[in-house]
Amino acid sequence: MIQFAMHFEIIGDIENVEALAAGGRIQDIMRIQKQYGPGRWRKLKCVAKVREKEHLKTFAGSQLQIQIYVNRQTDELSQNILDALPSIASLNPKLRWVSPLESKKLVEYQDRAFLKADPDTRSALMSK
């Protein structure tokens, strides 16, 4: 018996569902019926946002793009931000990314959790 373990979780809507085959047109229908019983079986394809359970990595959309840029193209992301904000760029700041980092399982800090995760920022804000 073949068993498949799902090492991901669906975290968004399931969209663009399309039937690829039904009943006897499904290549593995005999095994499916033996394992799960008779029924109106259909082979479907769809699009969904998923996250790998072990690493909590997202595999679709803008969240994935942010994760890639913050962890693998940091300089390019920082430069694009400074190019879009010339008044800040003129101060020659050094941008330091604290979230979402692969080393911290891509946790995205917000509000108080962000200030706790980055004591330097918290100190800078408290001193003003």
How many C-beta neighbours within 10 Å does residue 100 have? 19
Is residue 23 in a domain? yes
Kindly state whether residues 73 and 41 are assigned to the same domain.
Answer: no
Structural element, H or E, at residue 22: strand 8-22
pLDDT(119) > 70 = yes
Give yes or no for residue 4 having a pLDDT over 60: no
Residue 114 lies in a domain: yes
Decide the pairing of beta strands 8-22 and 42-52. Answer: antiparallel
Read off the pLDDT of each residue in 67-90 and give the average, rounded to a whole number: 89
- Say what the pLDDT of residue 11 is: 78
Residue 99 belongs to some domain of the structure: yes
Do residues 38 and 79 both lie within one domain?
no
- In the chain, the number of structural domains is 2
Joined together, the tokens standing for residue 79 give 């430069």
Tell whether 48 and 65 lie within a shared domain.
no
pLDDT of 1 reads: 40
Among 31-40, 93-102, 104-113, 116-125, the least confident range? 116-125
d(CA 50, CA 71): 19
Please report, to the nearest 10 degrees, the dihedral formed by the alpha carbons of residues 89, 93, 96, 97 taken in order: -20
**Rounded to whole angstroms, how far apart are CA atoms 58 and 48?**
11
pLDDT of res. 117: 77
Mean pLDDT of 37-54: 80
- The predicted model scores a pTM of 0.47
Q: Let me know whether 72 and 39 are in one domain.
A: no
**In-domain check, residue 95:** yes
Q: Is residue 128 pLDDT above 70, yes or no?
A: no
Angle 55-59-60 (CA atoms, 0-180°, nearest 5)?
150
Residue 69: domain span:
61-126
Q: Please tell me whether residues 21 and 74 are part of one structural domain.
A: no
Of residues 78, 113, 114, the one with CA closest to residue 98: 114
